[in-house]
Amino acid sequence: MKKKNGFRRWPLILAVVTLTVGMTACGSEKSTLPDLSSMGETAAILREEGSGTRAEFETLLKLPDSDWGTVADSTEAVLAKVQEDKNAIGYVAYSSVSDDIEEKILQVDGVLPSEESISKDSYPLCRDYYLAYDGELTEVERDFITYVMTKGQDIVKDYCVPVKNTVTFLSDKSKGTIRIEGSTSMEAMINSLAEDYEKENPNAEIEVKATDSSRGLTASISGSCDLAMSSRELKDYEAELLETKSIGRDAIAIVVNKENPVDNLTAKQIAKIYSGECKKWADLN
């Protein structure tokens, strides 16, 4: 979802001062939690297999391969489940949530996701957005990628943190169709980039299909799409077959129901919830 006033520039929830406490069964030295006796079992919401957001979330938190929790197949589905259940916790692309969401975004290790914390890499759950391709670009594909990394960065900053400064772009007016497939987290941004590029180059036509990062990368390897949208790092075999361009940087936001009294969790606590080690909110104390 595109921000009403560009990419979010201020944290949604004011940061709270966190105190140092000793390790507990499911806690960590950096987290002081409120009374959680009124809370029930943790209801972990996770994305479907193939989701780049899920893959990167599990990689960043060093989670074991586990299906603990309830699967939701989109950002909207994650937010809906969190909104329905005060015990729910979920994760979504930070750039995909609007400023007026009903849910609460948590601090992780005392840091909220924001443009500043993503730029400085001080928020623990940051990740890049990639365009991946088989290395043999057509003229129009090369022209489009050049646009994305120059003038297009002005559009990228409406959705996430750009990786380069905006510079002028002069299209070579190459002809052709570009088929792009992959990450749902990148869909709105790539659609906006495609629309603007087609104004720069009326000879080009861009088709965007949102599936998930894994299917997009597989489609690029097989040749059924030209560019893949990936919101996760490529696996070793994918990296051997595909070239990538990082076009923007985002974060994975942790969301809970607004009735949940928690404002901050450590990365270790989140990992223990999603591994099934902490089955009750009170276990975090």
Note the pLDDT tens digit of each residue in 179-219.
Answer: 999 999 999 999 999 999 999 999 999 999 999 999 999 99
Average pLDDT value for residue range 62-77 = 87
Residues 239 and 186 in one domain: yes
Is residue 148 scored above 80 in pLDDT?
yes
In a domain, 136, yes or no: yes
Q: What pTM was computed for the model? A: 0.86
Range with the poorest average pLDDT among 61-65, 75-79, 167-171: 61-65
Residues 138 and 216 in one domain: yes
Cβ atoms of residues 238 and 221 within 8 Å: yes
Note the pLDDT tens digit of each residue in 1-34.
Answer: 344 345 654 444 333 333 333 334 565 444 579 9
Cα 138 from Cα 185, distance rounded (Å): 26
Query: Which CATH number do you get for residue 159?
Result: 3.40.190.210
SS3 assignment, position 144: helix
CA angle 177, 180, 183 (to 5 degrees): 170
Q: Which domain holds residue 180?
A: 127-250
User: Which CA distances in Å does 89 have to 34, 46, 106, 248?
Assistant: 16, 9, 10, 26
Cα 99 from Cα 16, distance rounded (Å): 19
Round the CA-based radius of gyration of the chain to a whole number and report it: 20
pLDDT value of residue 8: 54
Average pLDDT value for residue range 231-251 = 97
Residues 60 and 197 in one domain: no
In a domain, 32, yes or no: no
The H-assigned helical ranges of 87-212 are: 115-119, 139-148, 153-156, 187-200
In a domain, 71, yes or no: yes
Average of per-residue pLDDT values in the chain: 89
Q: Report which listed range, 23-32, 93-102, 261-270, is most confident.
A: 261-270
175 dihedral zone (left: phi>0; alpha: psi -120 to 50; beta): beta
Residues 56 and 153 in one domain: no
Beta bridge partners of 280: 41
